[in-house]
Amino acid sequence: MPTTGAMVIPGEDIIIDPADKTGDEAEAQLPGLTGSDKQVSWATEIRTSRINIAKSDTMLFGMLSTSREQSEEFMICLQSIRRAHWWIETRTLGRGQFMAAAFDEGLKTRYVTPPKDNATAHAVLDEALLAPTKTHGPIAEVSLATGKVRVVLIEFDEATNTLLKRCGYRWDAPAWTRRAVDDVAGHRAVEIAVRLLAHGCPVRIFDEALRQRVVENDYEPESPRRVEVSTSAKYSTKFHLVWSLDSHPAQCKKAASQLRGAKAFDDGAYVTASHFEEIQDFASQNGFTITPEAQSLIDAEKQKFSGSVKVVAQPKTAEGVPPKPALAAATGEIDAELLDD
């Protein structure tokens, strides 16, 4: 049975005793909460229990895709939230909802209004920030996660969102993300940071080596014409021809429209995987780069036919069948045998 004052975290089936010494010691190292005395007292218990769960050796809140970097970022967000009211109003949220809410609140706290009494936090944030010559966009944090590049904007900005979409990023709350294999992920992270700076967005990168590469413009630019594998549910397992950043989009669309079964749009096209041979020819003839993921799909399609017997089909023409008699031309006259007497 829980001791007096113990609390149960909704949806977690975990009982936390506020008298636990380990929890008290951890709480002492956290920044003080703001609010009324009653709010702070209640919120302190909630915060302690939530952080204890996050520190457990299981994957954060059951999110199997959570990387180590995301876990560390999540913990930083939790520790930076000081509003007692926030902890109270989110106390009943389930796993996924709470994680999203914590990222949203924590990122605002860290990047918009960091605690005024924390000089170290200010120094770290300032050092990680790269500023464009002319600023007219929101601060964007660029980071690498397992198999993807992540971009977090501190506020909504339609023009910046459009840029990210054109560069192949998709919204996956609380960040814009794009899949990238390990050997090119760094290049893609540096490239999007450079594009954001050119767009007018200050860029924050905590990874010192990655930040230095942005300063030195050290990356291999991505081909503006690419053959990828679609990540859309509607066009899953299809080839995705991309040319959103190409200087001649109309020409690309016209060429792609000639492919069998292609669904072409202004910035790209989708083609069924079974047409992989045509895709290879198209890429070679039109200067499209085939990404590793697309090549894997091509190889998989080839494998389906690896054990089949190749047959040269030669349909036969029928012989010896007499031709049909030609029909006499109609004259409009009635045969004499058919006339009435």
Q: Is 2 helix (H, G, I), strand (E, B) or coil?
A: coil
Q: What average pLDDT is seen over the chain? A: 80
The single-letter code of the amino acid at 158 is E
The arithmetic mean of pLDDT across residues 13-37, rounded, is 61
Helices 249-256, 276-286: axis angle to 10 degrees equals 150
At residue 298, φ and ψ (nearest 5 deg) are: -60, -45
C-alpha 6: how far from its chain's center? 40
Residue 238, pLDDT score: 93
Q: Residue 278: in which H helix or E strand, if any?
A: helix 276-286
Q: Check: CB of residue 235 under 8 Å from CB of residue 270.
A: yes
Structure tokens of 145? 């996660």
Ranking 74-78, 202-206, 253-257, 316-320 by mean pLDDT, the lowest is 316-320
Residue 131, pLDDT score: 93
Q: How far is CA 49 from CA 4, 132, 273, in A?
A: 15, 41, 49
The pTM assigned to this predicted structure is 0.57
209/133 Cα distance (integer angstroms): 22
210/109 Cα distance (integer angstroms): 24
Tally of CB atoms within 10 A around 168 = 23
Residue range 150-166, pLDDT digits in tens: 998 878 899 999 999 99
Residue range 173-186, pLDDT digits in tens: 778 999 888 778 99
Residue range 254-313, pLDDT digits in tens: 999 999 989 999 999 999 999 999 999 999 999 999 988 899 999 999 988 877 787 888
54/71 Cα distance (integer angstroms): 8
The arithmetic mean of pLDDT across residues 69-91, rounded, is 84
Residue 12 has pLDDT above 60, yes or no: no
Q: Is the peptide bond before 174 cis (omega within 30 degrees of 0)?
A: yes
271/123 Cα distance (integer angstroms): 50
The arithmetic mean of pLDDT across residues 211-240, rounded, is 91
The more confident residue out of 230 and 196 is 196
Q: Check: CB of residue 163 under 8 Å from CB of residue 192.
A: no
266/253 Cα distance (integer angstroms): 6
Name the E strands within 165-271: 170-172, 175-179, 203-204, 226-229, 239-242, 263-264, 268-271
